[in-house]
Structure 1
Amino acid sequence: MTPPGPPETRSTCAYCGVGCGVLLRADTAGGLAVRGDPDHPSNFGRLCSKGTNLGETVDLDGRLTHPLYHGTQIDWDSALQTVADKFSAAIAEHGPDSVAFYVSGQLLTEDYYIANKLMKGFIGSANIDTNSRLCMASTVAGHKRAFGTDTVPGTYEDLEQADLVVLTGSNLAWCHPVLYQRIVAAKAARPSMKIVVIDPRRTATCDGADMHLPLKPGSDVALFNGLLAAIAQQGARDDTFAQHVDGFDPALAAARACDLGVTGLDPALMQRFFDLWIGTEKVVTVFSQGVNQSSSGSDKVNAILNCHLATGRIGRPGMGPFSVTGQPNAMGGREVGGLANTLACHMDIGNPDHRQALRQFWDARAMPETAGLKAVEMFQAVASGQIKALWIMHTNPAVTMPDADAVKAAIAGCDFVVCSDITPQTDTVRLAHMLLPAAAWGEKSGTVTNSDRTISRQRTVLPAPGQARPDWAQLAEVGRRMGWHAAFDYTTPSEIFREYAALSGIAGGFGLDFDISGLADISDAAYDALAPTRWPVSAGRTGGRFFGDGRFFTPSGRARMLALTHRAPAARLQPRFPLRLNTGRIRDQWHTMTRTAKSPRLSSHLAEPFLELHPSDAAVRGITPSALVEVTTPHGRAILRALITDRVQPGDIFAPMHWTGENAPSARIDTLIAPVTDPISGQPESKAAAARIAPFPARWYAFAISSDSFTPTADYWARARTAQGWRAEIAGTALPENWEAYAATLFGIEGGDMQSLSDARRGTFRAAFHDAGRLRAALFVSPTPVAVMRDYLSGLTGTVAPLALSGRIGADQPDPGPTLCSCFGVGVNTILTAIADKGLRSVAEIGAALQAGTNCGSCRPELADLLTRTATSREAAE
């Protein structure tokens, strides 16, 4: 039922590549109500915790609202003229390859199109790359090698129609929760459906799986080579489809020569997987960053594609390889040519006919003949001085790039850096000379493409604050000021979309896959009303799957299987660095938290950066639960909270990648990652660093809460938003001389009503600051990790709390415990109490009793784990 009130606006979620439809309703105070669009084919009304809480992230606190040059506010005319002049001067003196754009999957397709056109068509360089290089470039390379183009063969419906879904290198339950819930719902309706998870870690995704293969990091090629060899051995090759495929024999020879022992898997478990895959015709293999983010990522992708091509299980309902992407418009960036080695509409930069056609269509000044600098190469060129002017749009490479400290130094040393963003408070933006205020999600209009080729509209529902402008408008104006007025004379995103759609018809004329020329004459009104549409959209065909008919986009028209050999991760384990560091995402945060960290609900689940390590690795190093751990690689150092768990294997460690210098300076994980890339795709190896760990020698630990934002000064700190203010974990190696003075300085409080408790013998200190009887801030210090009720205390600021210094809830009040369900704010203790008191025995019963797990479902694996642990404890007690 539609809630009462003003009309809702249909739009698309700002986060991952699932591309969920949302219905938005703005109020008169800048707030936003968000719910899932029941008619959108990606989610049918479902939303994950991040999408559900989008309304908490649109406030204007900390927004960049005016252009800033060297920290001083200037007008748009001066700002854009300065950008145009600086880029023009660099090009005139050093040539077009002395400038670069680093763009983002957060851009809309229309923004991306203008950036690519400006750089490749008129500046004349291919030095435009995107942060999507860090998440799906290996898939692009694998697709092009096998299919001739970067084509996603299947659709989301295949996930529900399959009899077997294999999830490899993908914690789908946390990273693409809506797709995971679609699969879980399909399995519930059809219990014979099987789910297999391939991952070194036991993740939340394993909860609903029939089989988990905990392979050694980096051994995916060996595993799928083993599957290919088993396909041949069991006579499962599709001889009819084989007429459309080249390279089977050399691919099989390489597969048979592969040592499956490198996977570390039980041979019997592997054989069960091979038999299940081979014996199930309708199989979809879903893959993501665990496959892509590797120095052999392209080979991993092709190893998967080999198995589907050999069996003909591609392009038909319920079967095929399926890459799921990380950003809302990573696919749009791929389609528009946002990568340094591609042209728009899947045309090839190395193809002279494609270059000439694009040059004529754009009436372009110049076209590069070779690929530009990929992301890692680009920032190395910035460091060496080859790049003189750099424009960074909606991304944070000083945090997200491998060897992040070196990237940060490179940006700081560049002659001229422009950042288009929504906030001046990121590690990267703080390094820029020119800041351009951009319209944010909810304030801009355009299109995005999701992982199954569905184009959806993002629509304006909120006014852009101050002088913020859409990115396409900024880029087009710079293009005009650089002398190319006619080429960039746009006034609306619909004009850009029409031009882009017309250009795709030229690609279609070359026989390429990306063709939306059927939308080239779309009116402004039809563009405004555009419903979700899966490409291609042309006179020849609309939507559907690719390759089931055996027709591919290679020169021969046949698919290519590749002969592949397992290559271990580039970083070799050694006595000084004996552990394998894996990095990834957590359930409720997004990228570097510029948006999600604004939401108290999203920050409540996992409020602090952590390191997962196995109990045996912790024991041998003297690391205790909740202690701080120092993680070191040849490239950097980080401090993280220990999470000791058997979810990781001995010798493996895992850390999330979200925290930045803004919220946890010692937890910038990509400072630990080497700038090693896949030789084909240029994608960094972010999941297999060689590392060592040791207890961090903290002499004191602290937990702090405050109504107002505060920035600690200490060796370690991690800050998070709460519903009433802020919280932080703090630790240091040097004791302050005076704790009362430290507390007052920490919170910026002079005078006022302060309560304090100090025990010099035990090394503990507690202080609470009150204003007009209400708690303003509190600090709890201990020589060991502080034992207080954090979630309870975080809710006290701004209230009358005379007993706050106790650090514990009163005996007459229930303690909800740490938040587990972010959608409804349900704590662990509340759930455990309900399980015990009401005899709950299933996740569904928990949902019926408490609502937990009934919205996005991404906490359902954790609910199931609570039930299992409760049952185990009950059985032990009996």
Structure 2
Amino acid sequence: MLARLLKQHTGPLTRDLVQTPGSFGLGKVPERLKPVGTTTSICGYCATGCQLKLHLDASGRAINLSPQAHYPVNLGMACPKGWQALDPLDAPDRGTTPLRRTAQGDFESIDWATAVETFVHRFKSIQQRHGHHSAAFLSTGQIPFEEMAFLGCLWKFGMGFHHGDANTRQCMATAVSAYKQSFGFDAPPYTYADFEESDVIVLVGANLCIAHPILWQRIVRNPRSPKIIVIDPRATETAQAADQHLPLRPKGDLPLYYALAHCIIRDGRIDSNSLERTEGFEEFRHFVRDYSPAAVAEATGIDSDTIETLAHQVSEPGKRVSWWWTMGVNQSYEGVRTAQAIINLCLMTGNIGRPGTGPNSITGQCNAMGSRLFSNTTSLVGGHDFANPEHRLKVSRILGIPLDAIPSSPSLAYDQILDAAERGEIKGLWIVATNPFHSWIDSGRLAALREKLEFLVVQDMYSTTESAQVADLFLPAAGWGEKQGCFINSERRIGTLKAVRTPPGQALADFRIFRLLAHAWGCDSWFDSWTDPEAAFLQLRDLTLDRPCDITGIRDYQHIDQSGGIQWPYPKSMTTPPHPTHADRVGELTERRLFADWNYYTPTGKARIHFSPPAPPPEPPNADFPFLLLTGRGSSSQWHTQTRTAKSDILRKLSPQEAYLEIHPEDAAILGIAANDPVKVSSRRGEIIVAAYLAPTMQRGQVFLPMHDRRVNQLTHPSFDAHSRQPNYKACAVQISSAKTSSPSKKSRTSPAE
């Protein structure tokens, strides 16, 4: 049986892998051939969710691409990564065969039958000896949600393990927790059209010009001449393009927003109709009495007059105010309360549910929203709750899974899984389409943790990632462009991706790998109906019935394509727009926001106001480590750990050629550092040497490193938000010295302090 499955899944592309014009040839396509057809696919990088038009040769192989002109998200635009999305598929270091670590420590090539047998034997042995809590998976926001759901259901229901989490924990857990607590469900309320409908746009810790350039272009299209305000410690590219930049002291967000609430309540600029649909306002009113502008000026670095002015700008009656945040809020030790402070301001002023308004979290990865709803990690698949017996019964009935196979509690979070591995409680780890040995906070700790694991499997496109290089078993996976499925973008829009290339060698789509493993484990009968991604989609669609994310009105993949993507919720009661193509329907018919009636997903139907006093930073600067290190995106041409973008010659040329540290020129002068000098950046966890970039856009006493270099997370501080378990990547204490002289920054302590 396994041999038949292997033959089926390693042959030419079949219906379950591709639905594009023509048939695939397996030979190399001559460069002289011109495109003879097109199809579309959602870009596989960030969560903007741009649609690309893929130009195909006569065999159905993509040979070029361009942005889709009328798609409601990108409207004919694409960032550099989107334009070069095909390049990573041709990289010479693609994984083409399964690899197994030998007793001598080297990798040997093996066939799929051996790889699958090794996987099953090792994990079953761990389970038999140590129990159902002894292994975990760490997954991704980069694969289709049909694959995410298959992985989570296979691991937890079929294989009987309990723990698994996704790297969306690193980017979106804060927003998820904030929305769930405030609205009763993880429900970003907005649509991208709100960028073009706002009178005031507040961007918090969000460098859209670099991280989400298409969304910045949506702002530029706004005909209302909006006031654009950026709240960010750095004078980022976005801050420089805005009307106003508030150079906040790092992690001064929470007291600032409490001070804004103080002013708005004091002056009576609240929306009583909106507040009638909230709970907890009177307690909040009492709480913020102590947060006057004068009281928070030192903590925020913003003077009282500026705070008073901002309070008026975000609460002016009749003005449409939208707030947008990304990792500057999410990746914090108190990010959930900061996000909820923004939500509270919108609830107080009625800036929610209407065009051009909202507390709006911009997602990081292409399918982070799909992971939030379908990965079966923190939430039971389909937006359900593990602890709810009715939800478990529904999942059992619709998916045909025995009820007693569905756990009644969620997994450990990402950091807790790694803690358990460090304690020797997690013995086996399966890493799928992510690279934690580069991306995880305080990454040097993972090298020691690796020694505690009995078995490490990495499933990825490339065998050269930091994580794959230390694996016991490597499984070669297909990438974007080589499989089909669906992504869900930041504004809740579901879009399809297509297979337009054949995976190299023996590489398989993750969906195919999960099918093989289900059979070898002996639970394949539970997944008989999961024959292909679209068949899985139809089951997952039915599973969302009566949930806030209900998409039971979607017929199939073709319906999604014809509609220009479909935002959830889309229940069966939703009528299909009358126009035949989405090109005619850019506007309200393809743009839908939540909470227009101010009815929320809580038991009472009311939003909840949450708050708590600001906490001190976990690692403030001191005499030994006097600088505060900030991290973030460095270029619109780079993506996360550069696993894919580094494969493109063009993207490499568009990006900085070496790692660099942004430092204020006056700080650099005191330290004897000139432009491009090598500098040593040291934290309590490690040190790295990079080039100095003198940047007056930095505040004194602060420095910035782009996150893309593999060494950066050797420095970051392992602290986490108490509600979301999201890592605090953005701020830690460091010392800076010239690598020529090794003169530590603590000898020049007066510079940052001034």
Q: Displacement, 1:524?
A: 7.1
8 A Cα contact 1:253 1:563, kept in partner = no
Alignment of 1:491 onto 2:531: yes
What SS class does the counterpart of residue 111 from structure 1 fall into?
helix
Label 1:698 to 1:472 Cα distance change in 2 as closer, same or farther (>3 A).
Answer: farther
Question: How does 1:10-89 map onto structure 2 within 5 Å?
Answer: 10-26=40-56, 32-70=63-101, 71-89=107-125
Alignment of 1:392 onto 2:431: yes
Deviation per residue, 1:164-196 (Å, 9 max, x gap): 11100110110000000110122xx433x1100
Match for residue 361 of structure 2? 323
Q: Displacement, 1:568?
A: 2.9
What SS class does the counterpart of residue 689 from structure 2 fall into?
strand
Match for residue 224 of structure 2? 190
Alignment of 1:93 onto 2:129: yes
Match of 1:504 among 544, 550, 559: 544
Query: Of the two structures, which has the highest relative contact order with CA contacts closer than 8 Å and spacing of 6 or more?
Result: 2
Match for residue 418 of structure 2? 379
TM-score for the superposition, normalised by structure 1 = 0.75
Match for residue 506 of structure 2? 467
Question: How does 1:357-376 map onto structure 2 within 5 Å?
Answer: 357-362=394-399, 363-364=401-402, 365-376=404-415
Q: Displacement, 1:525?
A: 6.0
Q: Displacement, 1:27?
A: 5.2
Q: Displacement, 1:531?
A: 4.3
Match of 2:607 among 559, 580, 598: 559
Structure-1 separation of matches of 2:527 and 2:489: 27
Match of 2:336 among 275, 298, 318: 298
Label 1:517 to 1:170 Cα distance change in 2 as closer, same or farther (>3 A).
Answer: same
Structure-2 separation of matches of 1:284 and 1:160: 10
* Structure 1 residue ranges, 4+ long, deviating more than 6 angstroms after superposition: 28-31, 527-530
Alignment of 1:619 onto 2:669: yes
What SS class does the counterpart of residue 133 from structure 2 fall into?
helix
What SS class does the counterpart of residue 158 from structure 1 fall into?
helix
Structure-1 separation of matches of 2:557 and 2:612: 49
Alignment of 1:116 onto 2:146: no
Match for residue 738 of structure 1? none
Match for residue 747 of structure 2? none
Structure-2 separation of matches of 1:525 and 1:178: 25
Deviation per residue, 1:336-370 (Å, 9 max, x gap): 144x4221222122323323332343323522222
Match for residue 380 of structure 2? 343
Label 1:380 to 1:23 Cα distance change in 2 as closer, same or farther (>3 A).
Answer: same
Match for residue 678 of structure 1? 721
8 A Cα contact 2:232 2:246, kept in partner = yes
Structure-2 separation of matches of 1:344 and 1:621: 54
8 A Cα contact 1:439 1:470, kept in partner = yes
Structure-1 separation of matches of 2:185 and 2:656: 40
Deviation per residue, 1:630-662 (Å, 9 max, x gap): 1111112111111111111011111011122xx
Alignment of 1:455 onto 2:503: no
Question: How does 1:592-631 map onto structure 2 within 5 Å?
Answer: 592-604=641-653, 605-631=655-681
Alignment of 1:641 onto 2:691: yes
8 A Cα contact 1:101 1:128, kept in partner = yes
Q: Displacement, 1:602?
A: 1.7
Structure-2 separation of matches of 1:620 and 1:108: 51
Q: Displacement, 1:197?
A: 0.4
Match of 2:193 among 157, 160, 163: 157
Structure-2 separation of matches of 1:386 and 1:314: 45
Label 1:607 to 1:32 Cα distance change in 2 as closer, same or farther (>3 A).
Answer: farther
8 A Cα contact 1:453 1:534, kept in partner = yes
Structure-2 separation of matches of 1:516 and 1:233: 43
Deviation per residue, 1:598-644 (Å, 9 max, x gap): 22222223111111111222122221111111111111211111111
Whose Rg is larger?
1
Match for residue 417 of structure 1? 456
Match of 1:355 among 369, 386, 392: 392
Alignment of 1:278 onto 2:315: yes
Label 1:450 to 1:527 Cα distance change in 2 as closer, same or farther (>3 A).
Answer: closer
Structure-2 separation of matches of 1:602 and 1:495: 36
Alignment of 1:242 onto 2:290: no
8 A Cα contact 2:277 2:607, kept in partner = yes
Structure-2 separation of matches of 1:312 and 1:350: 33
Label 1:527 to 1:254 Cα distance change in 2 as closer, same or farther (>3 A).
Answer: closer
Match for residue 513 of structure 1? 548
Give the letter for the 2:500 counterpart. V
What SS class does the counterpart of residue 90 from structure 2 fall into?
coil
Give the letter for the 2:642 counterpart. M
8 A Cα contact 1:255 1:563, kept in partner = no
- For structure 2, the 5+ residue unaligned runs are 1-32, 102-106, 576-590, 743-754
Label 1:352 to 1:523 Cα distance change in 2 as closer, same or farther (>3 A).
Answer: closer
What SS class does the counterpart of residue 608 from structure 1 fall into?
coil
Q: Displacement, 1:154?
A: 1.0
Q: Displacement, 1:523?
A: 5.2
What SS class does the counterpart of residue 344 from structure 1 fall into?
coil
Q: Displacement, 1:77?
A: 1.5
Deviation per residue, 1:34-69 (Å, 9 max, x gap): 210012111011001111222433314111011111
Give the letter for the 2:691 counterpart. R
After superposing the two structures, state which structure 1 stretch, 405-414 or 558-567, moved more: 405-414
8 A Cα contact 1:391 1:417, kept in partner = yes
8 A Cα contact 1:84 1:479, kept in partner = no
Q: Displacement, 1:125?
A: 4.1
Structure-2 separation of matches of 1:361 and 1:183: 42
Deviation per residue, 1:809-836 (Å, 9 max, x gap): xxxxxxxxxxxxxxxxxxxxxxxxxxxx
Percent of paired sites with the same residue: 35
Label 1:524 to 1:652 Cα distance change in 2 as closer, same or farther (>3 A).
Answer: closer
Q: Displacement, 1:410?
A: 1.7
TM-score for the superposition, normalised by structure 2 = 0.87
Match of 2:177 among 137, 141, 149: 141
Label 1:120 to 1:55 Cα distance change in 2 as closer, same or farther (>3 A).
Answer: closer
8 A Cα contact 1:215 1:263, kept in partner = yes
Alignment of 1:688 onto 2:727: no
Deviation per residue, 1:715-773 (Å, 9 max, x gap): xxxxxxxxxxxxxxxxxxxxxxxxxxxxxxxxxxxxxxxxxxxxxxxxxxxxxxxxxxx
Structure-1 separation of matches of 2:331 and 2:165: 16
8 A Cα contact 1:252 1:563, kept in partner = no
Give the letter for the 2:738 counterpart. P
Alignment of 1:589 onto 2:632: no
Label 1:199 to 1:524 Cα distance change in 2 as closer, same or farther (>3 A).
Answer: closer
Q: Displacement, 1:75?
A: 1.2
Match for residue 798 of structure 1? none
After superposing the two structures, state which structure 1 stretch, 252-261 or 441-450, moved more: 252-261
Match of 1:568 among 606, 612, 616: 616
Give the letter for the 1:19 counterpart. G
8 A Cα contact 2:427 2:454, kept in partner = yes
Q: Displacement, 1:28?
A: 8.4
After superposing the two structures, state which structure 1 stretch, 445-454 or 229-238, moved more: 229-238
Match for residue 682 of structure 2? 632
Label 1:216 to 1:524 Cα distance change in 2 as closer, same or farther (>3 A).
Answer: closer
Q: Displacement, 1:95?
A: 1.2
- For structure 1, the 5+ residue unaligned runs are 661-667, 700-878
Q: Displacement, 1:564?
A: 2.6
8 A Cα contact 2:629 2:702, kept in partner = yes
Label 1:263 to 1:95 Cα distance change in 2 as closer, same or farther (>3 A).
Answer: same
Match of 1:263 among 295, 300, 318: 300
8 A Cα contact 1:68 1:74, kept in partner = yes
Give the letter for the 1:11 counterpart. S
Label 1:36 to 1:527 Cα distance change in 2 as closer, same or farther (>3 A).
Answer: closer
Give the letter for the 1:98 counterpart. S
Give the letter for the 1:359 counterpart. S
What SS class does the counterpart of residue 206 from structure 1 fall into?
helix
